[in-house]
Structure 1
Amino acid sequence: MSHTVDNHTAFTEVPVIDIGALVSADPDPTARRRVVDEIGAACRDIGFFYVTNHGVAPADSAEMFAAAKAFFELPLAAKMKIRLGGTTDQFRGFVPLGGEVTAGKTDWHECLDLQPKWGRDATSAAAVRALRDQHPLDDPEQWPSDLPWFRAVMMRSWDQMWALSARIAAGMALSLGLDEHFFAQFEGAELSDLRMVHYPPFSREAHPHAPDGVTIDQTELGFGAHVDYGFLAVLQQDGVGGLEVRNAGGEWIAAPHIPGTFLVNIGLMMQRWTNDRYQATWHRVQIPGTSDRYSIPFFFEPRFDAVVAPLPQCVDTDNPPRYEPCEFGPYVVDLFAKAYD
């Protein structure tokens, strides 16, 4: 249910879209058109939507969460061996509590950013070496030595989330009247990111290594209000809750886990591409009460040298281009530099 405010919507819930016809190898054309239309409406009016019938088995999701929990339960010293920026200038690896800042405020979470697509074979390893001198967002092989099985789980997870994200991107392209493969030309594994996030209950005694200045009050959040900078994200979350999405009326709407679904949202690059037809939406995460919260977002991004500019299909005399062309890599490197201490 929703009502319009300034041509957008003050939604009261995030829609659930059955994307079976989008991921099927032999979809029914009518069902596929329905999926595409629902994705277009959700991107235009809300910026978020759940997907069901997505093709990822519940057992695979459970294995991902088990791996994430195992990593975050390691002693801090073990996690700090692969701290982001600890041994390289790369923006991949472990970020301890208090290591990220949103809008000038410290976030209450720890996370691990992985990019396991690179380095899996000789060809991609050579690509890493060629890119390493150009930007700090390639994979420095940050794997926890205390969990020898961890890499295999994450590599499998990466493949699943990459394939699913590509199908969702195809649905978005079709919703704009483009060829379903349009966005494939901009895809680049070097900036995509498989992230695991742990939001512990706030406790100075339990987490003595958190920054001294962090106190819990009405302004502190597990993750501060923000919009995603990139193309699209596919989120797996547990049942603890805490994620909230802001509607056009300024209200924060809960976006809890719905069994069997993933939560999808678009970022600022999709907003640029569509000249504001599809808009990125503000969201935040509350600090959990007494339970630990885990989430696993996959950020499906353009490649480093992709240039994002308003699409001709989204521009006319009454709606001229609102954005200059933007090279994605330098743009996101600058954002990362500001996000970490």
Structure 2
Amino acid sequence: MVAGSRIPVIDLQDFPAQSPELVKACEEWGCFRIVNHGNILPASLMSEMKRVVGSLLDLPPEIKRRNTDVIAGSGYMAPSQINPLYEALGLYDMASYQAVDAFCTQLNASPSQRETIVRYAQAVHELIMDIGQKLAEGLGLAGVLFEGWPCQFRINKYNFTPETVGSSGVQIHTDSGFLTILQDDEGVGGLEVMGKSGSFVAVDPWPGTLLLNLGDMAAAWSNGRLCNVKHRVQCKEATTRLSIASFLLGPKEATVEPPPELVDSEHPQLYVPFTYEDYRKLRLSTKLQAGEALALVRTSNS
């Protein structure tokens, strides 16, 4: 079996032929691998970024703490009681050169590191917008739909030790946003996604590819058609695990609600309109991190 083949694989060089497969993957799994994305995000840039990420996450704690929040959870996350093996650095809006520049300045990034981060942020933002548009077109929607939506960036480190093998690196959760691109650790496994049966499926490393998953905004925006996948990270071996996640969140000010084409008498609107910011605060205040907060914004139709 090819590594990672238990979840769908989408070839970005085979559109529009792959469009039905993309929609099916988003409906049934809420996650998929992409291959042949090198014209936007080449393997060489992925490798460069991985080296930069390792260097930044090895910085002294007093420097990492300069990476302050723009919204809650967007800056440095130190190991915590809930996730003691995990730490991360973050950037709220990777489409903004000023925000990327500020992130690099906070962490004393060298000129070469800064160049790599800028190039990576631009490439991933282009890629996530392209895939969002391909998904919308697969659903029969026209027009540019995700322009101006913030794209958050987070680099993750899992400090696994012999004593922690078998424990959780990160608890079961869904992502709060719309679409996530993950450059996973190409050598260290541990990521698991929940299938329709309710059991977890291991997502094995597959170098040179990217993993995408859908979050709560996708479920609400699509009127329940798309799957917000639950996932977790398990400690499989005593080593350091690095990953790079980019999150297309939701509109900054407009409400999240389904396009008219996805609502009809057979598919009444399932969720009341809400802003991404209000929903994010709802998840934080209720500590419902695995998609359960969506039940709090359902309409009387559902």
CA contact under 8 A between 2:184 and 2:242: conserved in structure 1?
A: yes
TM-score (norm 2): 0.83
Determine the structure 1 residue equivalent to 2:83. Answer: 106
Determine the structure 1 residue equivalent to 2:63. Answer: 78
In the superposition, relative to structure 1, how do residues 224 and 173 fare at CA in structure 2: closer, same or farther (>3 Å)?
same
CA contact under 8 A between 1:116 and 1:158: conserved in structure 2?
A: no
**Alignment: residue pair count:** 280
CA contact under 8 A between 1:96 and 1:109: conserved in structure 2?
A: yes
Determine the structure 1 residue equivalent to 2:123. Answer: 160
Residue ranges of structure 2 left out of the alignment (5+ in a row): 288-302
Choose the corresponding residue for 1:50, options 20, 33, 50. Answer: 33
The amino acid of 1:37's aligned partner reads P
In the superposition, relative to structure 1, how do residues 193 and 263 fare at CA in structure 2: closer, same or farther (>3 Å)?
same
In the superposition, relative to structure 1, how do residues 40 and 245 fare at CA in structure 2: closer, same or farther (>3 Å)?
same
The amino acid of 2:160's aligned partner reads P
Please state whether the residue corresponding to 1:316 is helix, strand or coil: coil
Answering whether residue 54 of structure 2 is matched by residue 69 of structure 1, we say: yes
Please state whether the residue corresponding to 1:65 is helix, strand or coil: helix
Q: Take 2:264 and 2:252, find their aligned partners in 1: how far apart are those partners? A: 29
Answering whether residue 134 of structure 2 is matched by residue 201 of structure 1, we say: no
In the superposition, relative to structure 1, how do residues 146 and 224 fare at CA in structure 2: closer, same or farther (>3 Å)?
same
Q: Take 2:95 and 2:229, find their aligned partners in 1: how far apart are those partners? A: 30
Map 1:217-296 onto structure 2 (within 5 A): 220-238=167-185, 239-296=187-244
Tell me the alpha carbon deviations over residues 205-262 of structure 1, each in whole angstroms, 9 at most, x when there is no partner: xxxxxxxxxxx596x4111101111110010011201000011112110112212210
CA contact under 8 A between 2:165 and 2:238: conserved in structure 1?
A: no
CA contact under 8 A between 2:165 and 2:237: conserved in structure 1?
A: no
Q: Take 2:18 and 2:84, find their aligned partners in 1: how far apart are those partners? A: 36
CA contact under 8 A between 1:116 and 1:154: conserved in structure 2?
A: no
In the superposition, relative to structure 1, how do residues 53 and 118 fare at CA in structure 2: closer, same or farther (>3 Å)?
closer
Q: CA deviation at 1:43?
A: 0.5
Determine the structure 2 residue equivalent to 1:305. Answer: 253
Q: CA deviation at 1:107?
A: 5.1
CA contact under 8 A between 1:94 and 1:110: conserved in structure 2?
A: yes
Please state whether the residue corresponding to 1:94 is helix, strand or coil: coil
Q: Take 1:36 and 1:300, find their aligned partners in 2: how far apart are those partners? A: 20
Larger radius of gyration: 1
Q: Take 2:252 and 2:281, find their aligned partners in 1: how far apart are those partners? A: 10
TM-score (norm 1): 0.74
In the superposition, relative to structure 1, how do residues 172 and 118 fare at CA in structure 2: closer, same or farther (>3 Å)?
closer
CA contact under 8 A between 2:176 and 2:249: conserved in structure 1?
A: no
Q: CA deviation at 1:321?
A: 0.9
Residue ranges of structure 1 left out of the alignment (5+ in a row): 2-11, 22-31, 100-104, 126-137, 205-215
The amino acid of 1:268's aligned partner reads D
The amino acid of 2:9's aligned partner reads V
Choose the corresponding residue for 2:276, options 318, 328, 337. Answer: 328
Q: What is the percent sequence identity of the aligned residues?
A: 28
With 258-267 and 141-150 compared, the bigger mean Cα shift is at 141-150
CA contact under 8 A between 2:149 and 2:250: conserved in structure 1?
A: yes
Answering whether residue 13 of structure 2 is matched by residue 20 of structure 1, we say: yes
Q: Take 2:90 and 2:211, find their aligned partners in 1: how far apart are those partners? A: 19
Determine the structure 2 residue equivalent to 1:94. Answer: 76
Q: Take 1:309 and 1:68, find their aligned partners in 2: how far apart are those partners? A: 36
Q: Take 1:13 and 1:59, find their aligned partners in 2: how far apart are those partners? A: 26
CA contact under 8 A between 1:200 and 1:287: conserved in structure 2?
A: no
The amino acid of 2:176's aligned partner reads Y
Q: Take 1:116 and 1:283, find their aligned partners in 2: how far apart are those partners? A: 24
Choose the corresponding residue for 2:18, options 29, 35, 40. Answer: 35
Q: Take 2:173 and 2:94, find their aligned partners in 1: how far apart are those partners? A: 27
The amino acid of 1:92's aligned partner reads S
Q: CA deviation at 1:140?
A: 9.8
Q: CA deviation at 1:145?
A: 4.1
Answering whether residue 109 of structure 2 is matched by residue 147 of structure 1, we say: yes
Q: CA deviation at 1:119?
A: 5.9
Tell me the alpha carbon deviations over residues 111-143 of structure 1, each in whole angstroms, 9 at most, x when there is no partner: 0011464763xxxx6xxxxxxxxxxxx889343
